[in-house]
Amino acid sequence: MPRNRKLNLPLFIAWRYLFAKKTHNAINIITLVSVTGVAVGAMALVVVLSVFNGFEKLILSLFNSFHPDFEITLIEGKTFSMSDFPADELNSVPGVLNYSEVLEETGLIRYMDRQHLVTLRGADENYAAVTGVDTMLVRGEFLLTHNERDYLVLGQGVSLVVNASIHDLLNPIEVYLPRRGRTAGLHPSQAFRSSAGFAGGVFAVQSEYDMEYVIAPVRLMRRLLDYEDQVSSLFVSTDPSYNYRVIHEQIQEIAGPGYLVRNRLQQQDFLYRIMRSEKWAIFLILSFILVIAAFNIVGSLTMLVIEKRRDIPVLRSMGAARNTIGKVFLMEGVLISLAGAVFGITAGGLISWLQMKYGLISLQGEGVFIVDAYPVSVELTDLLLVGVTVFCIGILASLLPLRRIRAYTEKPPSD
């Protein structure tokens, strides 16, 4: 017998067993239930992982509008002088588009009779182009200076707390920052420096940021903090068509060992790890459900072995080895698993595509969410992972009934 036919013999017999009519209709029903159970489990895995991918990309895109491609900070210390940093060399790095000087400090803002503790982020004229925060405005415009006036861009939560109006040019927003170094005297006014600005716009990124941040002109921050050209960080924007790892290494080389260069994911490392861990926790839970569904494969193969117990001695008498007979029923379980995986992955991919295309399942609460329907993103790696998981579970489930074959190969079956 040719070698390729010998290798395909177990698969050929398993294929015939799968579609052949059984004497007991229950076996056909259990086999169909097995395929359906595996298919439903695989479909659930694909859909849930795709929804997690969609939410992950949505959340990261929102945070990306507030964070740059790369952020340069001191490893030790709070601020550094721009005269000590080779900022001009950043523009020579292939793929670097621009950079922005940022100076952050905790302070207090007061509008009329309301006040709120915030993080003031001083930004220059390149900030909007580097971060894209201007695309997240819900009112007004991204305006920091105009006609020698200072303007503030408030987070939506901050705006609600102080009830600031972007059209009020009669009542400015007062900004208070603590004086650097020791202060003489006990009066609170001697411990703070203050200035005033007007609300230019309101942004909405995420509730945590919206309740905390106010973007102000960097010149205002330096004046209040008595700085000349100090910054707390540099924000760098890059061309996405370039390799970000190469850009990261080149920026780090320019900055030197005293500076820390972080990409987007490193700036949001905790959030990213939380989302990843939640995704894989759900994956493991659904995989356990898939394992339970795979017990139908054990029942189907066990009944099939009992049904075909008379065929086993015949195959042995024709020269089939015990391992070959075992492979027949192993292939039967693999075919059931593959059939369920194909149907499940196809159905899951189709449901995810329909959700992406038409938004079939909407989020409840009109006007509350950023998107109207559940965000979905199908990734090829997830489909491959689901396929491999189903295949492995199917093989393990198929190994359990094989011990019955040994008994039938050692003695002839009785009626």
State how far Cα 96 lies from the chain centre: 25
pLDDT band at 126 (very low <50, low <70, confident <90, very high): very high
Find which of 186-200, 250-264, 270-284, 317-331 is predicted with most confidence, using mean pLDDT: 250-264
pLDDT, tens digit (0-9, with 9 covering 90-100), for 98-114? 999 999 999 999 999 89
Q: How far apart are CA 156 and CA 2, in angstroms?
A: 75
Q: Is the pLDDT of residue 24 over 60?
A: no
Res. 409 pLDDT band, cuts 50 70 90 = low
Closest CA to 197 of 164, 238, 228, 229: 164
pLDDT band of residue 411 (cuts 50, 70, 90) is low
The candidate with the shortest Cα–Cα distance to 405, out of 347, 325, 320, 351, is 325
Among 197, 188, 216, smallest CA distance to 118 is for: 216
- Token pair 């979905």 is found at 376
For residue 367, pLDDT over 50 is answered with no
pTM for the model: 0.72
Buried b (16+ CB within 10 A) or exposed e, 286-315: bbeebeebbebbbbbbbbbbebbbebbbeb
DSSP symbol at 172: P
Alpha helix stretches (DSSP H) within 319-371? 322-358
**Percent of the chain scored above 70 by pLDDT?**
83
Task: With CA atoms as reference, report the closest residue to 337 among 19, 44, 42.
Answer: 42
Among 39, 79, 11, CA closest to 289: 39
pLDDT digits (tens, 9 = 90+) for 145-155: 988 889 999 99
Pair of tokens at residue 120? 């003031």
Asked whether residue 57 carries a pLDDT value surpassing 90, the answer given is: no
Question: With contact defined as beta carbons under 8 Å apart, do 53 and 378 qualify?
Answer: yes
Alpha-carbon distance of 260 to 254, in angstroms, equals: 11
How much is the pLDDT for 147? 85
Alpha-carbon distance of 163 to 115, in angstroms, equals 10
Q: Where on the phi/psi map is residue 181: left (φ > 0), alpha (ψ -120 to 50), or beta? A: left
Distance CA 243, CA 266 (A): 16
Q: Which two tokens stand for residue 187?
A: 């009066």
Q: Alpha carbon of 35 to those of 39, 201, 339: distances in Å?
A: 6, 57, 6
Q: Decide if pLDDT at 285 tops 80.
A: yes
Nearest to 334 by CA among 404, 402, 287: 402
Residue 70 reports pLDDT greater than 70: yes
10 Å CB burial of residue 190 (0-12, 13-18, 19+) is exposed
Mean pLDDT of the chain: 84
248 residue type, one letter: H
Tell me the HSE value of 335 on the side-chain side, using a 13 A CA sphere: 20
Q: Give the Cα separation of 230 and 313 in Å (integer).
A: 87
Is residue 236 scored above 60 in pLDDT?
A: yes
